[in-house]
Amino acid sequence: MKITVASGKGGTGKTTFSVLFARAIAPALYVDADVEEPNGGIFLKPTIEKVEDFTEPVPKIIPEKCTYCGECARACPYKALVIIPPPAKKDLFFPELCHSCGVCAYVCPEKGALIEVPRKKGVVRIGRAGNLDFMEGILNIGEPTAVPLITDLKKRVKNYKGDVIIDAPPGTSCPVVQAVEDADYVILVAEPTPFGVHDLSLVVEMVEELKVPYGIVINKAQEGNTLVEEFANSRGIEILFRLPFSEDIARMYSRGELPFERFEEGLRKLHARIKEIAG
Ligand code: SF4
Ligand code: SF4
């Protein structure tokens, strides 16, 4: 099964829950797809066995063959290319704006005037943390979109024999949709605060639109605080698990540690429950 863990906003405990869950159900594969700020590795402390570049094709103009007609620059939807016509005959390329869409190469009328060359946009780190397989994508700072790297991670894990836990980016933007859209099940992590419930409502709308089965995990659950339960009951959504509000956990977290054993049994039961629902 591919289980994606998402949240309506950052800082809700999505990674805390993802790594606790992945470790509890191991052997499995944990994938940190929060590629702009992956931090699951801080808690899992994997041994990294392989680091592979993530590249995408970007245009390169060959001055000897280019007529500086400007077709490529006019067609670029992201204004990443500027062509200065003769007599100046110059080209400017802004790699941080380029989405590697390939339109410029497609429209160029001169054979060999615009070629595509790979440009490194990040890395994928692969390793192991005990009996848990580990993978994380790290996007270079300043890259325009996280979607291609998340797509790459998903391709890499497609044939994994076992359960895959994908730690998605926070929010409801395109990278999150990419991480969530073909999951077998989505776990939404939320905090019991008015802001937490508001952001939860946004991510619930997203998963309902994508028609993926889902349930809610409450992080920092406190006795007497029923904000998330009230929201879930009003929509008929299942509360799957509660991680308690605890100073001990906060202290461990600040040291890059988590109480893995404490929740193991409950999280294994949750795993069985999810299999039952999604199966
Ligand atoms: S479309 Fe081709 S020939 Fe025209 S300016 Fe661009 S690279 Fe040069
Ligand atoms: S690949 Fe797409 S975004 Fe990049 S320069 Fe060409 S047209 Fe523009």
pLDDT, mean over the chain? 95
- The CA R_g of the chain, rounded to the nearest whole Å, is 22
Domains of the chain with CATH codes: 2-55+121-278 (3.40.50.300), 63-112 (3.30.70)
Each residue of 18-41: pLDDT tens digit? 999 999 999 999 999 999 999 999
Q: Which of 20, 47, 48, 14 is nearest to 33 (CA)?
A: 14
Each residue of 222-234: pLDDT tens digit? 999 999 999 999 9
**Residue 9 — very low, low, confident or very high, per pLDDT cuts 50/70/90?**
confident
What distances in angstroms separate CA 236 from CA 61, 181, 270, one per listed residue?
Answer: 56, 21, 18
pLDDT recorded at residue 278: 86
Mean pLDDT of 55-82: 97
Closest atom of ligand 2 to 93 CA is 5
Crossing angle of helices 14-25 and 260-278, rounded to 10°: 80
Q: Tell me, in angstroms, the distance from the centre of ligand 1 to residue 96's CA.
A: 20
pLDDT recorded at residue 10: 87
Q: Sign (positive/negative) of CA torsion 41, 42, 48, 53?
A: positive
Separation CA 37–CA 23 (nearest Å): 20
Closest atom of ligand 2 to 101 CA is 2
Q: Tell me, in angstroms, the distance from the centre of ligand 1 to residue 114's CA.
A: 6
**pLDDT exceeds 90 at position 275:** yes
**Residue 236 — very low, low, confident or very high, per pLDDT cuts 50/70/90?**
very high
Q: Determine how β-strand 132-139 pairs with β-strand 239-244.
A: unpaired
pLDDT recorded at residue 21: 97
CB-based contact 148:102 (threshold 8 Å): no
Greatest extent of the chain over all pairs of C-alpha atoms, in Å = 75
Each residue of 171-193: pLDDT tens digit? 999 999 999 999 999 999 999 99
Q: What is the DSSP letter of 279?
A: -
Please give the order of strands across the beta sheet that includes 185-190: 47-61, 114-129, 132-139, 28-32, 164-167, 2-6, 185-190, 214-221, 239-244
**Residue 144 — very low, low, confident or very high, per pLDDT cuts 50/70/90?**
confident
Query: In the chain, what percentage of residues exceed pLDDT 90?
Result: 95
**pLDDT exceeds 90 at position 279:** no
Nearest CA to ligand 1 atom 3: 66
Q: Tell me, in angstroms, the distance from the centre of ligand 1 to residue 87's CA.
A: 15
pTM of the predicted structure, to 2 decimals: 0.92
**Residue 75 — very low, low, confident or very high, per pLDDT cuts 50/70/90?**
very high
